Structure formats: structure tokens, C-alpha cells
Amino acid sequence: MMAVQFPTSSAPSACIVGGGPAGMVLALLFARRGLGVTVLEAARDFDRAFRGDTLHPATLELMEDLGLVERLLKLDHTRAHCARFISPQRTQVVADFSKLTSKYPYLAVMAQTRFLTFLLEELARFPHARVEFGARVEGLIEEGGAVRGVRYRQGEAVHELRAALTIGADGRHSKVRAASQLPLTRLSPGQDVLWFALPRCASDPGQSIDLYLGGPHCLVTTNHGERWQIGYSIDKGSYARHRALGVAPVQEAVRATIPWLANRVHLLSEWRQLNLLSVEVSRLRRWFRPGLLLIGDAAHPISPIGGLGINMAIQDAVACANCLSGPLLRGRLSVRHLARVQRVRAWQIGVLQAQQVVEEREVVSIHGGAKLHLPIQGLNLIHRLPGLRRLPAYLTAYGLRPVRLSDEYKRGTLRFLQQNGRSPLLPG
């Protein structure tokens, strides 16, 4: 059987701006379907500290569908079997992932650099896909009322990349969103988070992701094997004031809130060890223009609570693969196909963001000394009702309704891979 002619990389069917989880997963899904795709990543590599590092059951099940999960889980990672709120009065399980009816009843905590490099290696098996590092988008190419690609700078050179579809997957500070002039509606001012790392000892706890409440700042701990990744919340816009105070208040908060880390908090000795994450809950009213679609935090910045940002962004990518692969291959992509992606995803994002706004306000009220903790009381009620006990874990693991690869996508991918002499489960 004659092999399918690969699209040339100089004229891709899709240009994806942003080499994060959503962009790289979508690039792989498009490539496996036979679409030419180019990813433009502004950084020179994936090696950046304190990115979201949780892979949820929905993502692991997607990797299983692609025949990649066994190799993925051979990479270094830890497993969080539950998430907890910890206060001086009590420890409350927020979500017990071990009760999920999944082959992967946990959150896999894996350095995002490692996950993205894994996806890059898989993508490299397809000659019609490429990733360009150090490619900073400077503007959109617009003709006839539609987006036809992007202009980007790589070193001193400025390039034009034309594509049938441009995807903005470049995060909460999206350059593509700014260039598109699609307005972002802020739903919550959010809080900012300072991230840092401390060594982990073998005797430390480590089977859960914990949010410590009760002081003026909440702290979150995530087990990364040899180190703890720790988040320290601060009021929105207060970074300069906290920087002027230095690391001593952060050290004291850790000693007071997480006593078993007190013996090593002195290792946080310089401000440069702290990394700022600006947190907000926002979304676009419309995610698309002709020839352009935004996904993930570029379309709907989400709070890092529960690692939902990565989970929802990857599910956006799956929705794109389902809705857009066929029209792109047929050369018949239209606005209605882009609108369908938003229709599939936006209602769920809206519900989850509303939940996050309520949770954020409650956490702020706890820090302010409020005595009525509605989420805590609600969790107590849920855990007393057998039929609801799995709900918080399910929402964290999957969202309201997980997006799976469609049968049409699977059939098309199987046909393409077989025509090109590739195993449908293990490309190349």
C-alpha cells in the first residue's frame, strides 16, 4: 500500500504556540492523525523550575490509549493517593484517589520537564512534526479577516509561519491572546504563590498533597522524591513588600505550620530561591477567531488548586484532536469547528472555576479568623454519605465529564499509522 505523503514542515496544517502540556499533547495527537504540525516554544528548553507537576488519572488513561503509559510511568515520579487540608484543629481528607475505579488511582507527581521531554521524544518519531525552541511570537498574520499564522523571532531572525490553524497554548500570560485582542474576564483577584524547594528525608510523610491552613499564609507541600515542593501564599500584588522583608517570614511560617520541616528550613536562605506564580481565575468569553483558537490557561487561567490547570488544558487538547483533525485533513476547517471545541469545554471550565472562586474566598476567610468553614463542613458531609465519598476525588481526577479520544479520531489514527508501517500503540 502506498504510504501517505507527509505534509512538509514549511507549510504545516497547524501552528501551536506554547510547548507546555496542552501544546505538546495536542501536537502529538495531531501528528498521530497525519497532520503537519509545528510547535513554537519561547524558552530555549523545558528546564524551568516550579511548573505544575501532577499527572491526573485522566491524563494517564489518555497515555494508555496512546500506548505510552508504561514507558511514561518508568520515569522518576511519586504518587499522591490523597489530598488533605491540615489545620491546628484537624486533618481533613479532601480527595481520596485510592477509591477511584481507575487503573491509576493516584496523582503521578512528575517533573514537568521530564513529561514534556518524553512527549518531545515521541513527537520526534513523526517527520511531519517539529518543535522550535527560542521562538518568541511577535504577532499574528491576518489576511481576509482570518488568522493565517504567526510572526516570531528566533535569535536575531524574524520568521513567518503560515498555517491553516493557529493554536494559542502559551499559558496565562499568552502573547497570542494579547495579539488576538480577545478580552479576558477576571473572575477572582486570586492570590499569588511563592514556590521553593527543601530536601526530603526518608522518614517524612509523602503519600498525599497537603494544604496547611490556620496561619496568615497557607502552605502546600508536594512530594517530589528527593525534595519537597512548597507553595507559600501571599496577597495579590504584595510581592514587592514580601521581597523587601526577605526570607525570614517564610522560614518562620514553615516552622510554625509544618514543624517536621523546621530542621531544614534554614536552607531557604536567599530570595532568589523563591519563584513567583501569579494566580488568578479568568476566562475568555470567546476562545476563537477565524483561523485561531486558544486553549488551556491562554483561554481560561485556573487556580493551581488540585492541579486542575494541567488536567483541563490536556482535555482541551483532546477536544481539539477530536473536533479539528478531520476538518483540517479535509481542508475544510471553519469557525463552527472552533466553536465546537469551546462548546464541548467551556461549560465544564465555567463550573470548575466557579468552585475555585468559592474555595479561594473560604481560604481567605479562614486566614482572616472566620469560624465557619463551609468547604470543611461540606467535605465532612460528603464523606459521611457513601454515595458521595468519591466525588471530590473524581472531580480532581477527571473534571465533571472527561474528554476521551473519539472513535473517529482513533479510526483515523489507526489507519494513518498502519499505512505508514507504524504500530498503533508504539509509534515507530
For the chain, which residues make up each domain, given as ranges? 14-188+280-419, 192-278
Q: Residue 423's pLDDT is what?
A: 61
Q: Among 48-52, 114-118, 280-284, 296-300, which is the least confidently predicted range?
A: 48-52
Share of the chain above pLDDT 70, in %: 87
Q: Which residues, in sequence order, are bridge partners of residue 168?
A: 17, 294
pLDDT band at 214 (very low <50, low <70, confident <90, very high): confident
pLDDT band at 426 (very low <50, low <70, confident <90, very high): very low
pLDDT at 363 over 70: no
Q: Residue 424's pLDDT is what?
A: 58
Separation between Cα atoms, residue 327 and residue 295, nearest integer Å? 18
Amino acid identity of 180? S
Separation between Cα atoms, residue 129 and residue 114, nearest integer Å? 20
Q: Residue 87's pLDDT is what?
A: 87
Q: Residue 374's pLDDT is what?
A: 40
Residue 139 has, within 13 A of its CA and on its CB side, a CA count of 6
Q: Residue 376's pLDDT is what?
A: 46
What is the maximal distance between C-alpha atoms in the chain? 71
pLDDT at 28 over 70: yes
Nearest alpha-carbon partner for 82 in 63, 65, 58, 106: 106
Alpha helices in 233-334 (DSSP H): 239-245, 248-257, 308-330
Per the model's pLDDT, the better-predicted residue between 403 and 205 turns out to be 403
Mean pLDDT of 218-233: 94
pLDDT at 325 over 90: yes
Per the model's pLDDT, the better-predicted residue between 241 and 92 turns out to be 241
Q: Residue 362's pLDDT is what?
A: 61
Q: Residue 279's pLDDT is what?
A: 83
Q: Output DSSP code: residue 272.
A: G
pLDDT at 183 over 60: yes
pLDDT band at 1 (very low <50, low <70, confident <90, very high): very low
CA 182 from chain centre, in angstroms, equals: 21
Beta carbons of 187 and 281 less than 8 angstroms apart: yes
Quick one: the chain helix, strand, coil %, rounded to 5?
Answer: 40, 25, 35
pLDDT at 11 over 60: no
Mean pLDDT of 81-110: 92
pLDDT band at 377 (very low <50, low <70, confident <90, very high): very low
Separation between Cα atoms, residue 129 and residue 38, nearest integer Å? 6
Q: Residue 216's pLDDT is what?
A: 77
pLDDT at 84 over 80: yes
Q: Residue 102's pLDDT is what?
A: 96
Average pLDDT of the chain to the nearest whole number: 88
Does residue 114 sit in helix, strand or coil? helix
Q: Residue 50's pLDDT is what?
A: 62
Mean pLDDT of 331-358: 93
Long-range contacts of 137-142 (CB under 8 A, 24+ apart): 137/17, 137/40, 137/42, 137/170, 137/175, 137/176, 137/179, 138/175, 139/179, 140/166, 140/176, 140/179, 140/180, 140/292
Amino acid identity of 192? D
Nearest alpha-carbon partner for 141 in 168, 156, 160, 157: 160
Beta carbons of 378 and 322 less than 8 angstroms apart: no
Mean pLDDT of 397-425: 88
Per the model's pLDDT, the better-predicted residue between 188 and 1 turns out to be 188
Class of domain 14-188+280-419: alpha beta
Q: Residue 383's pLDDT is what?
A: 46
Mean pLDDT of 229-255: 94
Provide the terminal-to-terminal Cα distance of the chain, rounded to the nearest Å: 18
pLDDT band at 97 (very low <50, low <70, confident <90, very high): very high
369 backbone φψ class: left, alpha, beta (φ>0; ψ -120 to 50): left
Mean pLDDT of 247-271: 96
Q: Among 53-62, 72-81, 306-315, 362-371, which is the least confidently predicted range?
A: 362-371
* DSSP state letters, 335-404: HHHHHHHHHHHHHHHHHHHHHHHHHHHHHHHHHTT-S--HHHHHHHHHHHSGGGTTHHHHHHHH-SSPPP
The pairing of strands 165-168 and 14-17 is: parallel
